[in-house]
Chains A and B, each alone.
Chain A
Amino acid sequence: MLRAVLTLTGTAAGLAALLTFKSHPATIAAAQPAAPPATSGATSSPAPTSASKTHPAAGKSATPSKSQAAGNSQAAAARTVTGAVANTQYGPMQIQLTLTGQKITNVTVLQRTNDGSESDEIDSTAIPKLTSETLAAQSAQINAVSGASYTSMGYIQSLQSALDKAK
């Protein structure tokens, strides 16, 4: 029982550390001195996965924080980033982001599904929804629009690749 509690606590701590180091640069700078990997001692051998999780997190903290800090200092200028073309069953989807610093201010659809009038109809309702979701979420973690799975998947894919380029 004790082992189970220790393992789960260790996993939760490892997960928290991992997510903290993945967060906004300001958070990383604050978190580094207070790094939690003291939990690695608490786990015992039958559950090695939790022990090893804290180590990659601790090791990785240096690199992303540096590049993020550099990106942020060039902050203010507006720029556009074009995502890769995502091919769906009904045609290609490609979106372009307009960003100010790291904030998405606009989304333009460069290419959309073109499989006839039905695509037009679906896209005309789905794309505005997806765009407003993107602006609200400021990431690619948005919902697909029901009834427009392929448009949504293509949109999200292209959006993700644009975001990766924008980092």
Chain B
Amino acid sequence: MRPDLSVVVLSLIGLGAAAVVALWWKDTPVIHTTGDLLTGAGQVLGLLSGYGFVVLVALMARLPPLEHGIGSDRLARWHAMGGRYVITLVTGHVLFIIWGYAVTGHEQLTRQTVALLVNYPDVMMATVAWFLLLGIAAFSARAARRRLSYETWYYAHLYTYLAIALAFSHQFADGASFESSLTARVVWSALYATVGALIGWYRFITPLRMAARHRFTVQAVRPEAPGTVSVLICGRDFDKLHARPGQFFRWRFLTRELWWQSHPYSMSAMPRSDLMRITVKARGEHSGSLAHLKPGTKVIAEGPYGAFTPTLTRRRVLLIAGGVGITPIRAMFAALPKHLVGGITLVYRASDPRDVLFSRELDAIAADRNAALYYVIGSREELGYDPLAPGVLQRMVPGLHRHEAYICGPPGMTQAAVTSLRTAGVPGRRIHRESFDF
């Protein structure tokens, strides 16, 4: 994990917000009445929302520096938290504007709402946009996502583009800060246009260019364990992808049922120039369908993505894998240079012996590298102890606190492992993690 880029990006976002507030400050006359005050609040919230939405979209534009420097999982979390915040801001904007105008015009609230909808240009469209956003927020809430299919959530989320398009014009038509300043309008339009162009390039054009260049095609599907398969993907020039161990791609399998979805799956081995392998556990509709892929199916792949990849270090390396987290870990295990590291230890945690993947490969790699390999199988009750407790880890891994640690597994296990390592004295900056929950 490299904290620096996150701090830079967050600071830039903050500076942008400050600039937006400064724009309001510059163009707004002194507040004299309650009506002015309420309207002023509505204006600030409106400007910040308009800015906030473009930032949210930019976070999801798959910009390579962000994906590599901050990590896709962290960006997704920021987007989710930011999304809830900005929708709250925009709702505040709507309410304060109605209230402020009503107080200024000595008008009743319902009549004022109707007046705003009917008399002010583009407010009707912006209101539709607001309802769309509230709907998207409702569909994205955790309680809803547990009950709804991925398909429903996905299509609902696409409406965000529509909402932003609908609401855009009312900013200029009704926003006091924009009416008086051509510069503000130009800069704002440039901001939206730039983010739109980035989306077009990185989310639409780049995957198509990559597919044309590398010709990703399903070669075979191999069962690895109950509910888990490896998909072998052939093509050309995979070395030009510059993929690093531990990284993943976003895969779009072009079959009738799956073409509209793109999902991230990690490489379970470093690619050859014409062959790649991903290993996927069936956890949902998409991952479950991969077992039935036919050889010859064309694929669009985006990537490589992921900040979870070993940096050059002379320290000893500890790899902890939980369940299907072994996928990127196995790639790292095989790819870590033999001479560089002082020693490698892999702790593979699985709840059931049938869930263990790649055991022969792992044994071979361990023998080749003279690495320590521990299979810890069974639940904590069956084992009688917590295999990730600090004391246990310290006995398994001598000199634990001097290691560089990489952990991948289900969120609960990953967090427990991180906590244990910190307790055992491993500093935060030497603990790297990835969880498959985004």
Stretch from A50-58, A74-82, A107-115 contacting the other chain:
A50-58
Q: B14 to A23, Cβ gap below 8 A?
A: no
Partner of B84, one of A4, A143, A149, A167: A4
What residues of chain A lie closer than 8 Å to B100, measured between beta carbons? 141
What residues of chain B lie closer than 8 Å to A15, measured between beta carbons? 41, 44-45
Q: B37 to A45, Cβ gap below 8 A?
A: no
What residues of chain A lie closer than 8 Å to B78, measured between beta carbons? 46
B208 at the interface (CB under 8 A from A): no
A30 at the interface (CB under 8 A from B): no
CB distance from B294 to the nearest CB of A (A): 44
Known contacts A19-B40, A45-B10, A138-B33, A56 near B176 by CB under 8 Å: no
Known contacts A24-B32, A45-B10, A139-B104, A60 near B17 by CB under 8 Å: no
The CA-CA distance from A46 to B10 in the complex, in Å, is 8
Q: Number of residues in A with C-beta < 8 Å to the partner? A: 48
Partner of A138, one of B32, B39, B112, B119: B32
Binary interface profile of A, 139-167, with partner B (CB < 8 Å = 1, else 0)?
A: 11111111001001100010011011001
The CA-CA distance from A51 to B31 in the complex, in Å, is 23
Q: A8 to B81, Cβ gap below 8 A?
A: no
Mostly, the B contact residues are helix
Q: B31 to A49, Cβ gap below 8 A?
A: no
B52 at the interface (CB under 8 A from A): yes
Q: A15-B41, A22-B30 are in contact. List 14 more A-B contacts (CB 8 A).
A: A8-B85, A48-B11, A52-B15, A56-B22, A56-B25, A68-B30, A136-B106, A138-B33, A141-B35, A143-B101, A143-B105, A144-B119, A160-B176, A163-B29
What are 17 residue pairs bridging A and B, where the CB atoms are less than 8 Å apart in the complex?
A: A11-B89, A18-B21, A18-B44, A19-B40, A22-B31, A23-B30, A23-B32, A25-B30, A46-B78, A48-B13, A56-B18, A102-B30, A144-B120, A145-B119, A146-B119, A160-B176, A164-B29
